[in-house]
């Protein structure tokens, strides 16, 4: 794998309990996209493709985009089809990477912080709005970086999953910086209870991310034409609280054509 791919060594398909996560999240997505003007959707930062396959199983046609060759290799292991296609590229270049129009877009799993600055975020928002049909929704889920910065949060909850030779431990450390960057260090370890040593480091990388806050994202989305923009505190639909919410979920709608007044 490429040395500059920060996700080349971390197997997100093995380290997340996908059946439990997707079962928990689907009711929210079903409600958010119930009136999508098309069943063709974009999965921005698709990773190993688990969300994309979830949507396909519910009758959507999905185009997934990811910059990581390693993550796309995982996604393609389970196959592509007429309803499922994966593209390698920077999600900020969504307009150039895709063709046609879409009825919705998702960008979940804290993917948006891979977009490093205002210029790239504006390019993403502008290009996506041009690819979305009028009335289409863009659902984005990231960590609540207002809370991360205020509390100096240093780690996400540890995931422990069974493995044929012990247990796999998924550790995600964070180092928030004063300039808004967050250095992520995802690590994969094997734990053997009673072993000597009990922990073995299997993989670790670091990624330089942008800790986007609601006050930074809203004006960029509005300048691109998205309106209204709803801020939630999680996939459960709870209201967003900058001090307490663990996540920030934005549901932004592409503008519908304004009704023309009848001629006199």
**Segment 113-131, tens digit of pLDDT:** 999 999 999 999 999 999 9
Q: What is the mean pLDDT of residues 94-106?
A: 98
Same domain flag for 181 and 215: no
Same domain flag for 17 and 96: yes
Same domain flag for 246 and 122: yes
Q: What is the pLDDT of residue 1?
A: 40
Question: Could you tell me if 51 and 22 are in contact, meaning their C-beta atoms sit under 8 angstroms apart?
Answer: yes
Please enumerate in sequence order all residues whose Cβ is within 8 A of that of 7, keeping only pairs 6 or more positions apart, or say none.
47, 68, 70, 71, 186, 205, 207
Question: Could you tell me if 156 and 176 are in contact, meaning their C-beta atoms sit under 8 angstroms apart?
Answer: no
Same domain flag for 71 and 153: no
The whole domain housing 204 covers 148-209
Which token pair is 118? 């205002």
Same domain flag for 56 and 129: yes
Which token pair is 181? 């960057």
Same domain flag for 127 and 243: yes
Q: How many residues does the chain have?
A: 264
Q: What is the pLDDT of residue 243?
A: 96
Percentage above 70 pLDDT, the chain: 94
In a domain, 226, yes or no: yes
User: Residue 39 gets which letter from DSSP?
Assistant: S
In a domain, 263, yes or no: no
Maximal CA-CA distance, the chain? 86
Indicate the number of domains in the chain. Answer: 2
Q: What is the CATH number of the domain that holds 113?
A: 3.40.50.150
For every residue of 201-237, DSSP letters joined together read EEEE--EEEE---HHHHHHHHHHHT---EEEESSTT-
Among 178, 194, 209, the domain boundary falls at 209
Residue 216 and residue 209: Cα distance in Å, rounded?
A: 15
The predicted-structure confidence for 14-50, as pLDDT tens digits, reads as follows 778 899 999 999 999 999 999 999 999 999 999 999 9
In a domain, 261, yes or no: no
Radius of gyration over every alpha carbon of the chain, rounded to an integer in angstroms: 19
Q: Is the dihedral of CA 54, 82, 139, 153 positive or negative?
A: positive
Closest alpha carbon to 65 in 83, 81, 41, 33: 41
Q: Is 51 helix (H, G, I), strand (E, B) or coil?
A: helix
The predicted-structure confidence for 185-231, as pLDDT tens digits, reads as follows 999 999 999 899 999 999 998 899 999 999 999 999 999 999 999 99
Closest alpha carbon to 125 in 194, 227, 193: 227
In a domain, 262, yes or no: no
2 pLDDT exceeds 70? no
Which token pair is 99? 């063709």
Question: Could you tell me if 109 and 45 are in contact, meaning their C-beta atoms sit under 8 angstroms apart?
Answer: yes
Residue 170 and residue 189: Cα distance in Å, rounded?
A: 7
- For 110, phi then psi, to 5°, come to 60, 35
In a domain, 260, yes or no: no
């Amino acid at each position: 794998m490429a040395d500059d791919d920060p996700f080349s060594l971390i197997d997100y398909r093995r380290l997340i309990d996908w059946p439990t996560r997707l079962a928990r999240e689907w009711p929210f997505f079903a409600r958010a996209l119930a009136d999508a003007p098309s069943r063709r959707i974009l999965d921005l930062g698709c990773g190993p493709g688990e969300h994309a396959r979830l949507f396909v199983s519910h009758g959507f046609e999905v185009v997934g985009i990811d910059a990581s060759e390693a993550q796309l290799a995982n996604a393609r292991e389970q196959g592509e089809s007429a309803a499922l296609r994966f593209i390698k590229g920077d999600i900020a270049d969504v307009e150039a990477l895709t063709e046609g129009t879409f009825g919705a877009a998702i960008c979940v799993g804290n993917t948006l912080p891979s977009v490093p600055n205002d210029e790239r975020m504006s390019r993403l928002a502008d290009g996506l709005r041009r690819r979305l049909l009028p009335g289409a929704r863009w659902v984005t889920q990231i960590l609540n970086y207002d809370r991360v910065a205020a509390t100096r949060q240093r780690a996400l909850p540890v995931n422990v999953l069974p493995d044929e030779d012990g247990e796999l431990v998924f550790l995600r450390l964070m180092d928030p910086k004063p300039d808004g960057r967050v250095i992520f260090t995802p690590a994969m370890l094997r734990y053997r209870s009673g072993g000597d040593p009990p922990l073995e480091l299997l993989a670790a990388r670091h990624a330089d991310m942008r800790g986007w806050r609601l006050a930074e994202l809203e004006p960029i989305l509005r300048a691109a034409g998205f309106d209204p923009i709803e801020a939630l505190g999680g996939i459960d639909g709870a209201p967003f609280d900058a001090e307490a919410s663990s996540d920030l979920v934005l549901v932004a709608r592409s503008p519908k054509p304004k009704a023309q007044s009848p001629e006199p």
